[in-house]
Structure 1
Amino acid sequence: MRGISKSFGAIKALQRVDLELNHGEVLGLVGDNAAGKSTLVKILSGVYAPDQGEIFIQGQRVEFASPADSRSLGIEMIYQDLAIVPNLSIAGNIFLGREPVKSFLGIKILDKRKMIEQSRQAIERLDVDIRSTKLSSAGLSGGQQQAVAVGRAIFFNPRVVIMDEPTAALSVKGIKKVLELVRELKERDISIILISHRLPNVFAVTDRIIILRTGKRVGERITKDTTPQEIIDLMVGMD
């Protein structure tokens, strides 16, 4: 992403922000509230169009008119609220909006058997303790819901997974599971953008950190070569 700017009325949410993501890299994107983090990744995921700037994937300039355009190029986003529908089964949530169909007497119907089997395979790949994808999503723990959201994202073989505050409302056990999921995605050579206010989590799994402040990119650090205090200083303007 190069020179990305976005305004909402008089509010300048982003001002000429650059973001680079390497193959198989976990990139931390941090900043205080209203720094522009969510706006930036919503542009990358096709939710918003930038007012200025360009997006390149493997050197080719691309434009997204919708999230479907972004997904078609292998970019999946896991939102902070997860978008898990409680009254749907786990399988239904994994295939939400992209349900497989089959023909029966010339009529298109849901292929529920395929949904259950393939969603089971997706969950098994993540080594999550979920007995059956036929179960309702309503009784899942926070960590299990995150696993379903991750399973939905990776089922369609993405190049990039964006995770917006994935540990915000989780228990210590749930946080540990999410960090394990991030590491598993990295092992599959999937690139990840991780947005989080929890700097210990950012330092636990990222390779590199980009810092935003009031809509501007104010710093970039290699994770192993920096400290939480240096990142905080950049976030609040003590640099």
Structure 2
Amino acid sequence: MSERTPMIEMRSVSKHFGSVIALSDISMKVCSGEVMCLLGDNGAGKSTLIKTLSGVHSPSQGEMYLDGKPVHFKSPAYALDAGIATVFQDLAMIPLMSITRNFFMGREPTVGWGPFKRIDWKYADRVAKEEMAKIGIDVRDPSQAVGTLSGGERQCVAIARAVYFGAKVLILDEPTSALGVKQASVVLRYIAKAKADGLAVIFITHNVHHAYPVADAFTLLSRGGSLGTFRKADITREEVLNMMAGGAELESLDAELAEFQRSDTERKASRESAVSRKETSSASGK
């Protein structure tokens, strides 16, 4: 059986900002119907990588392919037209505007022609409500301000918008970082649904516990370089955590904590011994 053509692929991509190397020799590929979790601590290069994928930055070196064809995006608009949709942490939403307005922002459906052309709000409201219902969120009134929704529901509006407008690749930038357990589960369920619908999903996070249940593969970044790509069947949650944190650093931390605990125990025993001697001396004096 021949290997599937990746929907999105990076080959030896590097990004330099003057003398600063933000990304170094990154290779990664994601097929349709697959979730790739991009993991790394703060400063690992995750933001630069997704901005390179989504057309904000051009690679300094290396190549990118979309469905097997080389691509070079001049701007995020070109990437979006090609089917790469990115949902950033700030969601690019206006809280005081309605759910419908945020859903169709810049792509409002119209009726009529020429000077009589106008936005078809009735159709737009129905579509927004139906798309949210597909992911289990019952919107009573799509004209309500998007700021009245919970954090998880707003994430789902942004994701549903990207999917509705034909995304082939869905890039999610820390979608669960500021959410509670229940809200995060809503977003994770929709990521699983996007995968089932055949999208190639790149899920950027530093939370392994959110990433592991939905991931098919992991790419780990550290200081702009790649620690490798691993299939879920080949690596455990604990191994992912250990690689992210750095095994040597964790062992050093464990040793330091053990030393603190030993010193604390010795100081406590010393104080108790001194108190005991003082009490004995006082009793003898009487």
Measured against the shorter chain, the TM-score band is over 0.9
Runs of 5+ consecutive residues of structure 2 not aligned to the other structure:
1-9, 249-286
Q: Within 5 Å, which residues of 2 pair with 1:20-39? A: 20-39=29-48
Relative distance call for 1:96 and 1:105 in structure 2 (3 A) is closer
Secondary structure of 2:31's partner?
coil
Deviates further, 114-123 or 212-221 = 114-123
TM-score for the superposition, normalised by structure 1? 0.94
Show CA shifts across 1:62-121 (max 9, x none).
Answer: 110111111111111111111221111101111112222333662443222232122122
Does residue 114 of the first structure (1) align with residue 116 of the second (2)?
A: no
Q: Within 5 Å, which residues of 2 pair with 1:98-137? A: 98-103=107-112, 106-137=115-146
Deviates further, 54-63 or 111-120 = 111-120
Deviation for aligned residue 1:9: 3.1
> Which structure has more helix as a fraction of its residues?
2
Runs of 5+ consecutive residues of structure 1 not aligned to the other structure:
none
Select the residue among 206, 223, 231 that pairs with 2:215. 206
Relative distance call for 1:172 and 1:103 in structure 2 (3 A) is same
Q: Which amino acid is 1:79 matched to? A: F
Secondary structure of 1:18's partner?
strand
Q: Which has the higher contact order (CA 8 A, sep 6+)?
A: 1
Distance 1:97 1:47 in 2: 19
Distance 2:77 2:195 in 1: 24
TM-score for the superposition, normalised by structure 2? 0.79
Tell whether the 8 Å contact from 1:219 to 1:234 is kept in structure 2 after alignment: no
> Over aligned residues, Cα RMSD in angstroms?
1.6
Moved over 6 A (4+): none
Distance 1:24 1:55 in 2: 19
**Percent sequence identity over matched residues?**
38
Does residue 183 of the first structure (1) align with residue 192 of the second (2)?
A: yes
Deviates further, 42-51 or 98-107 = 98-107
Equivalent residue, structure 2, for 1:149: 158
Q: Which amino acid is 1:65 matched to? A: K
Equivalent residue, structure 1, for 2:169: 160
Secondary structure of 2:141's partner?
coil
